[in-house]
């Protein structure tokens, strides 16, 4: 199941960190936490909802450690972390996209990631714990924020 969703893990890692080394560490940490937390997975709920929850919560708990550079582990197991390059124009746009998201707050990053993943407001609410209407408000606010950033 982890392999099926590895693209999501990769995207979460890139949304929260701009340095490749940190992304690699977070990627491995999420894989580890998914494996470790599997017992807490309730079969009645959706696997993808649980997985996003673990991935996003791992990213939060990893932010502090990455800042303090404590508990860092070697990442030699993941030498080929970088995905194959897309065409140059798309590569540039994707880079810009990640950079824009990284300017958002930690709350907004989680919400925008789920929104871009095509999750409906109800599922975003279920993963994040905000009410559906609050998710809508926050998405509108993020839209405004990104718009302002583009017009700068």
The total number of residues shown for the chain amounts to 152
Contacts 24+ apart (CB under 8 A), 17-21: 17/66, 18/98, 18/99, 18/102, 20/81, 20/82, 21/75
Q: In the complex, what is the shortest distance from the CB of residue 86 to other proteins, in angstroms, rounded to a whole number?
A: 6
Residue 40-79 contact track with other proteins, rule CB under 8 A, x = bound = xx--------x--xx-xxx-xx--x------x-xx--xx-
Q: Supply the Cα-derived Rg of the chain in whole angstroms.
A: 16
Q: Is 132 one of the binding residues for other proteins (CB under 8 A)?
A: no
Q: Which among 138, 125, 132, 116 is positioned nearest to 49, based on CA atoms?
A: 125
Using the structure block, give the residue that is written with the tokens 């583009």: 150
Could you list the residues that contact other proteins (CB under 8 A)? Answer: 2-3, 6-7, 10-11, 28-29, 31-33, 35-37, 39-41, 50, 53-54, 56-58, 60-61, 64, 71, 73-74, 77-78, 80-81, 83-84, 86, 90, 93-94, 96-97, 100, 105-107, 110, 115-118, 126-130, 134, 139, 142-143, 146-147, 150
């Amino acid at each position: 199941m982890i392999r099926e969703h590895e693209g999501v893990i990769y995207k979460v890692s890139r949304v929260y960190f701009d340095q490749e080394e940190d992304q690699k560490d977070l990627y491995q940490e999420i894989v580890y936490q998914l494996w470790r937390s599997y017992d807490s997975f309730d079969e009645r709920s959706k696997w993808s909802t649980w997985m996003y929850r673990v991935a996003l919560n791992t990213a939060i708990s990893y932010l502090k450690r990455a800042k303090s550079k404590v508990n860092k582990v070697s990442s030699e197991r993941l030498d080929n972390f970088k995905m194959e390059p897309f065409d140059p124009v798309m590569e540039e746009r994707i880079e810009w996209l990640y950079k824009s998201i990284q300017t958002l707050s930690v709350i907004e990053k989680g919400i925008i990631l789920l929104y871009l993943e095509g999750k409906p407001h109800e599922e975003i609410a279920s993963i994040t714990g905000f009410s559906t209407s609050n998710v809508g408000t926050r998405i509108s606010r993020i839209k405004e924020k990104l718009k302002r950033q583009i017009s700068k």
